[in-house]
Structure 1
């Protein structure tokens, strides 16, 4: 696990090595064990290392036998030992025992098609001296990040946006479309970022970048349902069990200590129970003071699974002491309140281990979110002909708020006009919160092509597809990567494995979701090793008590900071003050709306300070070079 940086210099600028060093320095937390840079006339690579596999000899950049290829890679290749043996049998010579070196020799054998052979989480930069091109790839699910931008005759690439901003010569500005979508979703969807001109490599794809400046994006993997539906329920339950057992096994390979996150939910409990079969295990949990303290449940689970358990209970004061640091490490505003306890969890885990496994991805693959039960709940009305639902929607839109109206409106609204994923904060017309000069971009337009890909799937599969393409890579995995790497901790997610996915995608929806529960067949597959108090517990997410906290002085302090942060060009301050009044008077629960604005305001404030310090640093370096 590490951080990677790259520069493809189209016009042979100076200062490439200085820029690479600055990019490395900006994200040294991703790889505190060592760092290196390498460059020639048109290409520069920078690497920060967190040593996991082959700590003694696995330093990067790596090269092939004749020095014509150079590679830096962030992540883990879980099938590297099998690939390595096959490559050695074909005559390839390895100089390290690291997992990343297999990419070089696979590329020699297969060219660009080598990426199809990889099983793992990864982002890599591979320079081909013969072809004079850089290949920049990312894993199928988007577990590991990779960002890029075109900047004054060169192309910059990095694991983190802040490293690009640090050396970018163009002025970094807020992307208005990304900001509008963020207000709805609490994160920036798709390939864009909150910084204009900086993009993300799409999960399951890679870029081919030539020294002429040509950039071509190619997709090698995308989520697809199976064309074959299994008929034997019992056998398929066994298939789920076996696929995840095998995934956990390969995800535990490491030359450093490995532990597990343990929440009150079933996903992390399954992972922990499977890991525990291999020997003593450190587990880690975090909760909040009050009635919904998850530590009470995870503590009981740890006792039954006999793990070496560590826990931390966060107070309101402790939570807000961490907020600024968390927003800074996220690089982009992500208004997911659970990022803060996740940061505290990673900090605690790092004191004992270097690698942790977690349960992210189970809900998207095995239909675990409660909102996936909605199609069944709305079926009675939704099955009516469109010629009846359309006029009914028009009538309902003119009626005052009353019990049952929302149910009828949702039932009469097509899925692709009502579902954008798990988070939907500011809905529809955002003119109240947006500064008047800004455009209210329609987030459904962002999702149109993805919905078209799933046009022949059932509604639950469509919802999963939206979440796999937006919520998972835009919120869940970004949060997991940034909070773990901020603490120099490697986070692995065994559910997000190609082999597990192949089983999950073929599992019939009716075996997973019904009126009573979600992930039903997954629960049944592990009923013998998951404690009873967890097995049938409904999904709660991470219960951060923002609603309660914002009713007091904390809400007032937050709005005061929003006002002082100079975000008036983006936010209608009077509307923010109205949201707070309504919330504190108990008229509405506006906690999520206030939090979305607050996170953006703190990020914006930090960004302005960072830009100013970067400009000063650049000026100092230029002056030093002239002297």
Structure 2
């Protein structure tokens, strides 16, 4: 995986220096090589920084086609590239490098933009077609690899990270609408926190030529319509999950450097490590150890590694470590943080890279595939639901009088109250949500609060979807998963990519193989949770290689100890100092006095209330860091 930059004149002019600056800004993503190219008329330029994982000695980019018509700058990996390459060579194509990236260029020569259908992996690339005077920029199906773009003064800029666009000359300023949506945990796959900077959405491509710029979809998750099919046999489903996951892992173990594995105490990463250890040289495992027992999965991970006979390395992360590296981690992430887990991932990736590894497997995507999150349970309990009685129950639920908690939630989102009734959320969940929204709204500045008044962030999020095409007729849990995949998952969870690539570490995600995911999307909800077991197909598929404690264990989200648990710790002190500093005063969305008063009240709260406020404190602190580090 690497860093890419592209610049295209569309009525304006750009300089070679701008391209070089942007490319240099991404040196951390590609420490093994660097290249730039500008077409003869100076209309288009490409930049690339390389992390060499396949074709170590001859994978320099940008890559040029044999006739000079096409130029490519790519980030990521194309799995199963070797058979494709052999077929292309048999048809007369001449390859200039040993890199997997080059197949995209030659496939495009034959098939045009439909070539993306043959690409399997996590990737973002930009291709310039000199004959058609067209730039084509593509992002992988799930958005594992980032791809940002902006237009300024008649020039189109694209890059793997926003900071490269800023280095090229794009002005840094807050996008108020995105801040509004994200502080309420609503993420749009096209928006960023930076005004004028957009993302190519997952499963889409950007096409740019003189006088035209458009976004095209080439893939989407297609959950089946209607009730669960009756001929799904549990044993066959488990066998298929095992076979397809093993294939996905095998493809991702292909590299010209050693491949390790990130290991927690949970099912997802343990299954990956166990299957990888059975079918290849045993990968080394890396695990975080937190300085708070309730959040530390290292002992379970260590026992799993011992059980599988693999080498194991612990990466200790204290709250002091998180305090020391918080600012740099946020700068690399270019995003709001709701917990110090982002900093912990940043430190884990640094340690893995220092151990001599450039690439590892990780377990992101399993919960999305098998509905493993706690928030999926109410939708799983609903089942396929097609009866008249069920629709009548929903109708009655929607017309009842609102509780005090519902009235508070409705002050921010009436739509969210209706959804909570359909899902049957408990009064405890609603009370907690109402309290958090009340605190958040109470910290906003008067001007900002007035500008967003009567705007429902959750309805705005939902309204971007074509309900009839993308959601209607699907099982309730599949609807929930679809919305999750298109919001927090790509906008927050997959932002860990920036923490990894801050140190030039490529993380491969076998659960997000699109062919595996397309199969998994068809598994009926009655098999996703069975006999009281969440993620039944995966749990049973991996049972022969799991320890009993992992097999029987529940879902533990990857969270660092809350900064607010012990107000005297260095992480909370860093947050407190930041929130009392110039970054907070310059941040145009929150009232400094109100934030200060909340900080003053924190030490007197009980542990539960303090811990519940940690996401808000982390979010505010990260916004202040972005304000200062990017001079917003």
Q: How does 1:49-198 map to 2 (within 5 A)?
A: 49-169=50-170, 171-185=171-185, 188-198=187-197
For 1:223, the equivalent position in structure 2 comes to 221
Provide the C-alpha distance between the structure 1 equivalents of 2:252 and 2:258, rounded to a whole number of angstroms. 12
Aligned with residue 352 of structure 1, among 356, 364, 384: 356
1:442 aligns with 2:456: yes
Gaps of 5+ in 1: 402-407, 612-627
Contact 1:373-1:514 within 8 A present in 2 as well = no
Provide the C-alpha distance between the structure 2 equivalents of 1:417 and 1:600, rounded to a whole number of angstroms. 31
Residue 514 of structure 1: how far off its partner (Å): 5.5
For 1:614, the equivalent position in structure 2 comes to none
For 1:620, the equivalent position in structure 2 comes to none
Provide the C-alpha distance between the structure 2 equivalents of 1:540 and 1:571, rounded to a whole number of angstroms. 32
Residue 367 of structure 1: how far off its partner (Å): 0.6
1:13 aligns with 2:23: no
- Indicate the larger mover: 286-295 or 438-447: 438-447
Residue 531 of structure 1: how far off its partner (Å): 1.2
Residue 581 of structure 1: how far off its partner (Å): 4.0
- Indicate the larger mover: 77-86 or 334-343: 334-343
Check 1:398–1:318 CA distance in 2 against 1; reply closer, same or farther (3 A cut).
closer
Aligned with residue 486 of structure 2, among 458, 466, 469: 469
Residue 399 of structure 1: how far off its partner (Å): 8.8
Contact 1:435-1:570 within 8 A present in 2 as well = yes
Residue 578 of structure 1: how far off its partner (Å): 3.7
1:390 aligns with 2:414: no
Contact 1:580-1:590 within 8 A present in 2 as well = no
Provide the C-alpha distance between the structure 1 equivalents of 2:627 and 2:371, rounded to a whole number of angstroms. 35
Provide the C-alpha distance between the structure 1 equivalents of 2:74 and 2:419, rounded to a whole number of angstroms. 47
Residue 412 of structure 1: how far off its partner (Å): 5.8
For 1:433, the equivalent position in structure 2 comes to 443
- Indicate the larger mover: 230-239 or 556-565: 556-565
Q: Deviations over 1:499-527 (max 9, x none)?
A: 21022101111111368332112101111
For 1:36, the equivalent position in structure 2 comes to 35
For 2:413, the equivalent position in structure 1 comes to none
1:304 aligns with 2:307: yes
Q: Deviations over 1:399-421 (max 9, x none)?
A: 999xxxxxx9788624599999x
Residue 397 of structure 1: how far off its partner (Å): 5.1
- Indicate the larger mover: 376-385 or 132-141: 376-385
For 2:594, the equivalent position in structure 1 comes to 575
Contact 2:379-2:480 within 8 A present in 1 as well = no
Check 1:14–1:181 CA distance in 2 against 1; reply closer, same or farther (3 A cut).
closer
Residue 382 of structure 1: how far off its partner (Å): 7.8
- Give 4+ residue runs of structure 1 displaced > 4 Å after superposition: 376-384, 395-401, 408-412, 415-420, 423-426
Q: Alpha carbon RMSD of aligned pairs, Å?
A: 2.8
- Indicate the larger mover: 459-468 or 327-336: 327-336
For 2:234, the equivalent position in structure 1 comes to 233
Q: Deviations over 1:134-162 (max 9, x none)?
A: 00001101011100001101100000000
Q: How does 1:122-521 map to 2 (within 5 A)?
A: 122-169=123-170, 171-185=171-185, 188-210=187-209, 212-226=210-224, 229=229, 230-277=231-278, 278-292=280-294, 293-350=296-353, 351-375=355-379, 385-395=393-403, 413-414=421-422, 427=437, 431-438=441-448, 439-440=451-452, 441-444=455-458, 445-450=460-465, 452=467, 453-479=470-496, 481-513=497-529, 516-521=532-537
Check 1:412–1:288 CA distance in 2 against 1; reply closer, same or farther (3 A cut).
closer
Contact 1:190-1:474 within 8 A present in 2 as well = yes
Check 1:553–1:281 CA distance in 2 against 1; reply closer, same or farther (3 A cut).
closer
User: Number of residues paired by the alignment?
Assistant: 596
Q: Deviations over 1:54-109 (max 9, x none)?
A: 01111111111101000010000002112112212222122222111111111111
1:584 aligns with 2:603: yes
Q: Deviations over 1:94-128 (max 9, x none)?
A: 22221111111111111111111111111000000
Residue 388 of structure 1: how far off its partner (Å): 2.5
- Indicate the larger mover: 290-299 or 265-274: 290-299
Residue 209 of structure 1: how far off its partner (Å): 0.6
- Indicate the larger mover: 370-379 or 593-602: 370-379
Contact 2:122-2:145 within 8 A present in 1 as well = yes
Gaps of 5+ in 2: 410-415
Provide the C-alpha distance between the structure 1 equivalents of 2:199 and 2:236, rounded to a whole number of angstroms. 40
Provide the C-alpha distance between the structure 2 equivalents of 1:559 and 1:195, rounded to a whole number of angstroms. 25
What's the TM-score, normalizing by structure 1?
A: 0.89
Residue 24 of structure 1: how far off its partner (Å): 1.1
Provide the C-alpha distance between the structure 1 equivalents of 2:275 and 2:596, rounded to a whole number of angstroms. 49
Residue 332 of structure 1: how far off its partner (Å): 2.6
What's the TM-score, normalizing by structure 2?
A: 0.89
Contact 1:5-1:157 within 8 A present in 2 as well = yes
For 2:556, the equivalent position in structure 1 comes to 540
Contact 1:244-1:495 within 8 A present in 2 as well = yes
Contact 2:142-2:512 within 8 A present in 1 as well = yes
Provide the C-alpha distance between the structure 2 equivalents of 1:182 and 1:449, rounded to a whole number of angstroms. 15
Provide the C-alpha distance between the structure 1 equivalents of 2:463 and 2:109, rounded to a whole number of angstroms. 39
- Indicate the larger mover: 220-229 or 590-599: 220-229
Contact 2:263-2:273 within 8 A present in 1 as well = yes
